[in-house]
Structure 1
Amino acid sequence: MKALVFLVIANGIAAAYSLVQGLRCVVSMVRGSVLFSKPLAWAIFSGDQVIAYLTLAAVAAAAQSAVFSELGQPELQWMKVCNMYGKFCNQVGEGLVSAVGVSLSMVVLSGISAFSLFRLYGGNKGTSSGRW
């Protein structure tokens, strides 16, 4: 199924992106100063959004394929594949569960980067009269 190939490729891209982000964090910790500018924050936020949507789309496509494999679609003459390949379908199900976990973690990571980005745009804490 091409949806499973798409899922594997999307997870590989997400893993590579996470590795690059991890290395960026390590380098910034070793240097001792965290240089966090607005353009960098926008780039991180945009990358996190792209990866989150990519993994969500891949999981959705693979889940749809898994449902068709499990239940079939008699109207379209698609048979139940999992009746013939039970062990393979179990492994696909386990992979889908872990991919859902990856996808949810990317959504949380995207929320964290959104918070970090929009924190840079925080307004001044007081008004012109000096009151909060």
Structure 2
Amino acid sequence: MRFLGNDVSNLRLVDCSLRMFVVPLSVASIWLTVTNQQDNNIYGKVEYSNFIGLKYMVCISAISAGYAIFAVASSWVRCLMTKTWLFFVSDQMLAYLTVTSMAASVEFLYLAYNGDQKVTWSEACGSYGKFCNRLKIALALYVIAVCCFLALAVISAYRVFRRFEPPFVPSKEAGQERT
């Protein structure tokens, strides 16, 4: 993290800013997904609760927003701030969970736009355009939130592992003396 220089105090500001940035993105993504529905005279009504991948995204998004709020609040409490391993493990888990839920949602959206002719699934976005467009916006917001969590995972890893010395590498001279 060379952009921080020798002073790592800016890291706390970046960390808190990213965590606070995740909250409105996650909330907006949840709201767009949960309120998304469209009725079609031919095929009927479609809504997010019909699709397990979207439910998974909403659930993980809610967990990540709640965790982000908790982490920002606890980052100002001195006794919790010393528990860098706790934040490291939590950030890593949430980064992986958000990536998997994003992947499930992207796959759903891909199938909605393109279908799968091998299993005779036709594309649905021709009939449910409004539903797909709102889902694209929700997914775009969620992708930004996932990128924030990936950056937070790197920051928390840096905080944990900067405390350790690099491994000792013997010099070339010592290796040449042995031969």
TM-score interval, smaller chain: 0.7 to 0.9
Q: Alignment RMSD, CA only?
A: 1.5
Q: Deviations over 1:94-127 (max 9, x none)?
A: 111111111110000010001110112236xxxx
1:60 corresponds to 2:103: yes
1:77 corresponds to 2:120: yes
- Look up the equivalent residue of 2:122 and give its one-letter code: M
Point out the structure with the larger strand share. 2
- CA distance in 2: counterparts of 1:35 and 1:65, whole angstroms: 39
**What is the number of residues matched between the two proteins?**
116
Residue 17 of structure 1 aligns with which residue? Answer: 67
- Look up the equivalent residue of 1:8 and give its one-letter code: V
Task: Give the conservation status (yes or no) of the 8 Å contact 2:88–2:157.
Answer: yes
The structure with the largest alpha-carbon Rg is 2
Q: Percent identity?
A: 28
SS at 2:126 equivalent: coil
- CA distance in 2: counterparts of 1:50 and 1:34, whole angstroms: 18
- Look up the equivalent residue of 1:9 and give its one-letter code: C
Residue 52 of structure 2 aligns with which residue? Answer: 2
- CA distance in 2: counterparts of 1:55 and 1:65, whole angstroms: 15
1:47 corresponds to 2:97: no
TM-score normalised according to structure 1 size: 0.83
- CA distance in 2: counterparts of 1:34 and 1:14, whole angstroms: 19
Q: Which runs of 5+ in 1 are unaligned?
A: 124-132
Q: Which runs of 5+ in 2 are unaligned?
A: 1-50, 167-179
Task: Give the conservation status (yes or no) of the 8 Å contact 2:75–2:81.
Answer: no
